Amino acid sequence: MNSELFQFSTITVLLLMVAFYGGTYLLSTRLKQNDGDADGFMVANQRIGLGMGAASMTATWIWAASFYAAATSGYTYGVSGPLHYGFWGALMILFIYPFGRRFRELAPNAHTLGELIHARHGASSQLILALSNLLGSIISLMVNLTAAGALVSVLSPLSFQAGIVIAGLGVLSYTLYSGFRASVFTDFAQLIAMMAIAVVIIPAVLFAMGGPAVMVDNLSNLTAEQANIFSREAFLHQGAPYFVAVLAYAIGNQTISQRLFAVDESHIKPTFITATISYGAIVIGLGMIGLMALTLGVEPINGNMNNLIPQMVSSYLPPFFIGLFFILVIGSLSSTADSDLSALSAIMMADVYGKNIAKNNADPKKMLLIGRMTMIVATVLGIILASFSLDILVMLVFVGALWGAVVFPVIASCFWDRVTNKAFTWAVLSALAVFCLVRFDLLPMTGVLAIGVELLASIGAGVVGGLMVFGFLGKRLGVAAFFIAAVVVAWIGVGTLREYTVLLSSLTAYGVSTLVCTVISLASNERFDFDLIQERVVEYNKPAADELKGETVAAR
């Protein structure tokens, strides 16, 4: 095996990136643009068809971290690693569906989840959700630009910072004009490219290694835990924390809810089912590259797990395939980065300006200006933050907990008429405070304190299980699942969960937010009329929406 990674020349890498971003920009210019169409800029007038919707959902969910983390999971945990990463992520796409239908039912004209919460509770709760989404999307943008910088610096003589700048400006170039519509339109092309290249790259690496027989013969190099498809260590360290984190992403991530509000209502169910299957197949396949490396005893260069996939590709494949791989990763990170820019612009346009400054009397043209300025500022900020090369996993876990704190309050607010603005606000703030104490070891996890936190985490586990069952099977079974899951995890986890800090802190955020939200809501006699939400959430550009009635952004 080569001791160093293959590198393209500077000219070759620049040509690859110019070809990719230039082609993407030309695709985006084919979109018709109404200068005053704010609704089209944010949610494509809610006319996205099945094909575009499913492709965009899948491409957005598959980002640069999916490549590296899936392979790392396979390399670290063996046979079950890729399954944990791909299966739970796919399941979370499906999980959004039942709650997404409720969101659309309550606010058919919404552009962001924050607008729905504003109509339900008012400004403070909405701004908490909006700020969490702003922070999360900025971090997500930073992560994708960081991955671009790492890829360029590994496979070319160009610097890490050069890769960040090129990717940032490239994504901005085609998203700035048409906003969300450009993101969805280019997502379709990017996903087709990703699927085609993945179908070529993964088998090519496998057969270059000697084929399935060599991989099977070397399974003896795995430890007992790595060879066990039901590995307890893999589940507690990888599967469970990831399951909890992506559940939070499913509800709190504006890039996902934006697509939920944009898809034609008649296509919501098939869109989510298609995206679930597509995501699982691609990501599990990418994770298998890590498992291949493990069976052959490959050591990541410089001990950096992010080098694993480039190392495997460059060590076993010719330059043409490495070029395809380069485009594959650039496409995946760009499809999510442009979604982050679209999400950030929608939050500033609708949540900040539309609801809190213009008070539902917004000027569509001014909204578009705000949206585009947001994209420019976010890109600059993302480039600056990415240049620090911060720990990606730490940032992802923090964002997961940030959104985990809002999951129960958001869902409860859409189904339970007793949830108040006070309950929502204090639930989120309390959960974030306790999460930080646990996740960053600000207090020693010993004695009575540790037991108390583990019991809170057990409640959090019950919430996760209960919400899953409630979404698909209804209230009674959901409540039963909550109690069963909470009791089982408490029985097994007290005395043990403290050893798994990431899982413990994430579950604690769920548990605390649920307890605080429930207690404060029960103490209030307020009742909310859900019909008011539809009256309070409006389209910002009614004429443009009427002109497009009956049309779709893409062939269904």
pLDDT at 1 over 50: no
Domain range annotation of the chain: 45-386, 394-524
Q: What is the DSSP string of 170-237?
A: HHHHHHTTTTHHHHHHHHHHHHHHHHHHHHHHHHHHHHHTT-HHHHHHGGGGS-HHHH-TT-HHHIII
pLDDT of residue 549: 42
In this structure, are residues 281 and 93 in contact, taking their beta carbons and an 8 Å threshold? Answer: no
Take residue 105 and report the two structure tokens written for it: 């039912």
Nearest Cα to 401, choosing from 498, 512, 492, 256? 512
What phi-psi label fits residue 228: left (phi over 0), alpha (psi between -120 and 50 degrees) or beta?
Answer: beta
In this structure, are residues 198 and 190 in contact, taking their beta carbons and an 8 Å threshold? Answer: no
pLDDT-derived band at 252, boundaries 50, 70, 90: confident
Q: Which residues, 6+ apart, have CB-to-CB distance to 301 below 8 Å?
A: 3, 4, 5, 307, 311
pLDDT at 57 over 70: yes
pLDDT at 486 over 90: yes
Q: Helix 447-473 to helix 501-522 angle, to the nearest 10 degrees?
A: 70
Nearest Cα to 278, choosing from 57, 50, 58? 58
pLDDT of residue 331: 83
Q: Which residues, 6+ apart, have CB-to-CB distance to 179 below 8 Å?
A: 40, 41, 42, 342, 345, 371, 372, 375
In angstroms, the CA 504 to CA 454 distance is 7
Q: What is the pTM of this model?
A: 0.82
Q: Which residues, 6+ apart, have CB-to-CB distance to 203 below 8 Å?
A: none
Q: Considering Cα of 56, then 143, then 180, then 266, what sign does the dihedral take?
A: positive
Nearest Cα to 540, choosing from 366, 343, 315? 366
Max avg pLDDT among 20-29, 64-73, 121-130, 514-523: 514-523
pLDDT of residue 218: 85
> Residue 499 burial by CB count (10 A; 0-12/13-18/19+): exposed, middle or buried?
exposed
Judged by average pLDDT, the poorest of 12-16, 56-60, 106-110, 121-125 is 56-60
In this structure, are residues 50 and 274 in contact, taking their beta carbons and an 8 Å threshold? Answer: yes
Three-state DSSP at 508 gives helix
The tokens 């690496």 sit on which residue?
Answer: 205
Angle 488-490-495 (CA atoms, 0-180°, nearest 5)? 130
Three-state DSSP at 9 gives coil
In angstroms, the CA 410 to CA 430 distance is 15
Three-state DSSP at 263 gives strand
In angstroms, the CA 174 to CA 179 distance is 8
Q: Which residues, 6+ apart, have CB-to-CB distance to 184 below 8 Å?
A: 44, 48, 52, 53, 56, 259, 262, 553, 554
CATH superfamily of 45-386: Sodium/glucose cotransporter (1.20.1730.10)
Q: What is the DSSP string of 92-109?
A: HHHHHHHHHHHHHHH-TT
pLDDT of residue 90: 84
In angstroms, the CA 365 to CA 541 distance is 9
What type of residue sits at position 347? I
What type of residue sits at position 350? A
Q: Considering Cα of 245, then 248, then 250, then 252, what sign does the dihedral take?
A: negative
Structure confidence by residue, pLDDT tens digits, 277-289: 888 888 888 888 8
Q: What are phi and psi of 539, to 5 degrees?
A: -80, 145
Structure confidence by residue, pLDDT tens digits, 155-190: 889 988 999 999 999 999 988 877 887 788 777 777
Structure confidence by residue, pLDDT tens digits, 87-109: 888 887 888 888 888 998 998 88
In this structure, are residues 419 and 122 in contact, taking their beta carbons and an 8 Å threshold? Answer: no
Share of the chain above pLDDT 90, in %: 26
In angstroms, the CA 329 to CA 156 distance is 14
Q: What are phi and psi of 48, to 5 degrees?
A: -70, 130
pLDDT-derived band at 223, boundaries 50, 70, 90: confident
pLDDT of residue 392: 58
DSSP state of 352: I
In angstroms, the CA 165 to CA 375 distance is 15
Take residue 226 and report the two structure tokens written for it: 């790595």
